[in-house]
């Protein structure tokens, strides 16, 4: 939790004024960001099915429309088929990834990606050790549906910068 009880990157007000940081860069101004659930894809499937039904009614007078009706129905089926539930949010993905690495976690970065023809959600988590500068980092891939580890954890040792 940041200042004012909100999640996000918090820049102290005195530092923000000194550096002339614009207000629209304050992550706490709007509130925490939540990645949209891929199940929303099913709504597009209903729209395609509705369009297919309307065109299906018109296809009796214009036989060539049946091709469009079939294509819209197939597209609707794909959208339902690819509407995976995103069971883990980014905080749960961070917790799951932190439990997979052999070091304590300092900074971390999380991004969601989609894999395969059905676009299954997968969290890509980069974790750094807590030292300053970090001595180790790891890449962990967590399945967004089941929370299971997707691949072997990649850990590397970082060399300290030469000054």
pLDDT at 2 over 50: no
Co-location of 24 and 95 in the same domain: no
Q: Which pLDDT score, from 0 to 100, does residue 10 have?
A: 62
Co-location of 60 and 126 in the same domain: no
Co-location of 159 and 102 in the same domain: yes
- Radius of gyration, alpha carbons of the chain: 23
Overall pTM > 0.75 = no
Which among 81, 112, 144 is the end of a domain? 81
Q: Which pLDDT score, from 0 to 100, does residue 48 have?
A: 95
Could you read off the pLDDT of 89-147 as tens digits, one per residue? Answer: 888 999 999 999 999 998 899 999 999 999 999 999 999 999 888 899 999 999 999 99
Q: Containing domain of residue 100, as a range?
A: 87-163
Co-location of 91 and 163 in the same domain: yes
User: Is the bond into 51 cis (omega within 30 degrees of 0)?
Assistant: no
User: Under a CB-based contact definition with an 8 Å cutoff, are residues 112 and 121 in contact?
Assistant: yes
Co-location of 3 and 18 in the same domain: yes
Q: How many domains does one find in the chain?
A: 3
- Say if residue 60 is exposed, middle or buried (CB neighbours under 10 Å; 0-12, 13-18, 19+): exposed
Co-location of 158 and 92 in the same domain: yes
Co-location of 3 and 68 in the same domain: no
N-term to C-term CA, the chain: 34
Residues 6+ apart with CB under 8 A from 36: none
Co-location of 3 and 46 in the same domain: no
SS3 (DSSP) at 154: strand
State the CB neighbour count (10 A cutoff) for residue 25. 10
Co-location of 66 and 118 in the same domain: no
Co-location of 55 and 122 in the same domain: no
Co-location of 19 and 75 in the same domain: no
User: Under a CB-based contact definition with an 8 Å cutoff, are residues 138 and 110 in contact?
Assistant: no
Collect contacts of 104-107 with beta carbons under 8 A, ≥24 apart: 104/129, 104/130, 105/129, 105/130, 106/130, 106/131, 106/132, 106/134, 107/134
How would residue 6 be classed by pLDDT, with cut points 50, 70 and 90? very low
Co-location of 42 and 29 in the same domain: no
User: Under a CB-based contact definition with an 8 Å cutoff, are residues 110 and 123 in contact?
Assistant: yes
């Amino acid at each position: 939790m940041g200042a004012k009880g909100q999640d996000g990157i918090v820049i102290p007000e005195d530092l923000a004024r000194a550096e002339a940081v614009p207000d629209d860069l304050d992550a706490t101004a709007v509130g925490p960001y939540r990645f949209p659930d891929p199940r929303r894809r099913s709504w597009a499937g209903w729209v395609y099915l509705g369009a297919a039904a309307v065109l299906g009614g018109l296809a009796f007078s214009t036989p060539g429309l049946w091709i469009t009706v079939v294509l819209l129905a197939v597209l609707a089926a794909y959208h339902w088929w690819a509407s995976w539930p995103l069971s883990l949010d980014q905080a749960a993905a961070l917790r799951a990834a932190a439990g997979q690495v052999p070091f304590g976690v300092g900074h971390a970065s999380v991004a969601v990606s989609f894999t395969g023809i059905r676009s299954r959600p997968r969290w890509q988590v980069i974790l750094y050790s807590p030292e300053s500068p970090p001595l180790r980092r790891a890449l962990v891939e967590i399945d967004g549906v089941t929370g299971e580890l997707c691949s072997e954890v990649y850990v590397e040792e970082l060399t300290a910068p030469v000054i």
